[in-house]
Amino acid sequence: MKATVAGVALLAAMACEQPAASVDLAAERSSLLEADRRFARATAEERLEGWVGFFAEDGVMFPAGRPVIRDEESIRALMGPLFDDEGFSLAWEPLEAEVSAGGDLGYTYGSYESRSPGPDGVPSVTTGKYLTVWRKQGDGSWKVVADIGNTNPPATDRSENP
């Protein structure tokens, strides 16, 4: 009996020491960039539902000048009024992705543009950059766990502050 228990314990210990399966990081980066592009398309087509649908259950947003937004209901409350306005649009393009060695966490960053109707009817355009942290789900899909963006300086200031 002792020999059997010791053998099972030794096999279990050896199994724990085995290196993780090799992760194709280039393929994972490509997959993550495509996930971010799908997120942008879903947001453009489905608006609020497209936005919320890409967040993990524990996903958070870091909106400027506001507290951290921590759940789907709060994300809906923040973003809903924007997407309810038919004149509002949000578009972005990821520029880069990086993935952890284990292939289960990653981030993307890029540039965005939002448009909102101005009081005079002329659209107000805001550009900026963003960083989104992603976690791979059990089904192999990527979900947003943290998202933050900030605006670029006004066009007249960009020559001084690129």
- In order, the DSSP letters of 108-130 are EEEEEEEEEE-TTSSEEEEEEEE
Pull the structure tokens for residue 9.
Answer: 């314990």
| Cα 146 to Cα 24, 54, 107, 126, 143, distances in angstroms | 24, 11, 9, 21, 9
Q: Which helix (H) or strand (E) holds 3?
A: helix 2-17
Domain ranges of the chain: 23-151
Q: Residues 6 or more apart from 87 whose CB is under 8 A from it?
A: 115, 116, 117, 123
Max Cα-Cα span within the chain: 85
Q: What band does 135 get if pLDDT is binned at 50, 70 and 90?
A: very high
Pull the structure tokens for residue 124.
Answer: 């107000």
Mean pLDDT on 10-22: 45
pTM of the model as a whole: 0.81
Whether 161 shows a pLDDT value over 60: the answer reads no
Instruction: Write down the architecture of domain 23-151 according to CATH.
Output: Roll (3.10)
Per-residue pLDDT tens over the stretch 73-129: 999 999 999 999 999 999 999 999 999 999 999 999 999 999 998 888 888 999 999
> Phi and psi of 113, rounded to 5°?
-140, 130
Q: Do residues 125 and 91 make contact, with C-beta atoms less than 8 angstroms apart?
A: no
Q: Do residues 62 and 147 make contact, with C-beta atoms less than 8 angstroms apart?
A: yes
Q: What is the pLDDT of residue 14?
A: 37
The mean pLDDT value of the chain amounts to 87
Centre a 10 Å sphere on the Cβ of residue 123 and count the other Cβ atoms it contains. Answer: 12
Q: What is the pLDDT of residue 120?
A: 86
